[in-house]
Amino acid sequence: MRFLLLNGPNLDLLGAREPEIYGSATLAHIEAELSAAAAELGVELRCVQSNHEGDLIDALHRARTDCDGVIINPAGYGHTSVALRDALIATDLPAAEVHLSNLARRESFRHHTLTADVAIGQICGFGADGYHLALTALTRHVRARRTP
């Protein structure tokens, strides 16, 4: 089983960027820990981060043919990108949306994402732990739907 871990714009700056909101862990650290946790579950993780909308869409198109699920933190594009939403739908893959911060406690423009209702579920506010919660939930979701 393979999942795409897709992180959107500015998440390459995790650790340095507003650590009081997003925490001190770097994206490299999060990806390494999550890949190790995934391996223990028998899941291969493909980690992609981009600051460019089209690259994120291309990664979803590729996942459509060779992944079983998507863990996505769309970052700022989650609030604005119809194209990213469309690409996520086009994958026809189960997705878990993650946000490090609790969107409901932030500015009103962050309260809604265009991707949340096309994901299986959204986890936000638990910092980097949210990725691990998403990995567990998505793995269980996919396995539960597999024919025995």
Q: In sequence order, what are the beta bridge partners of 44?
A: 2
Min. distance of Cβ 84 from ligand DQA in angstroms? 12
CB 73 within 8 A of CB 98: yes
Per CB under 6 A, 10 contacts ligand DQA: yes
Known catalytic residue: 77? Answer: no
List the catalytic residue out of 61, 79, 99, 132: 99
Min. distance of Cβ 73 from ligand DQA in angstroms? 5
Dist. CA 114–CA 84, nearest whole Å: 8
Structure tokens that stand for 110 in this block: 């962050």
Min. distance of Cβ 2 from ligand DQA in angstroms? 23
- Scanning residues 66 to 105, which ones bind ligand DQA (CB under 6 A)? 73, 75-76, 99-101
Known catalytic residue: 131? Answer: no
Backbone φ and ψ for 146, nearest 5 degrees, come out as -80, 145
Dist. CA 74–CA 33, nearest whole Å: 20
Question: Given strand 95-99, what is the order of strands in its sheet?
Answer: 44-49, 2-7, 69-73, 95-99, 121-124
List the catalytic residue out of 22, 77, 131, 132: 22
Min. distance of Cβ 66 from ligand DQA in angstroms? 25
Judged by beta carbon, residue 56 or residue 100, the one nearer ligand DQA is 100
Residues lying near ligand DQA in the complex (CB under 6 A): 10, 73, 75-76, 99-101, 110
Catalytic site residues? 22, 99
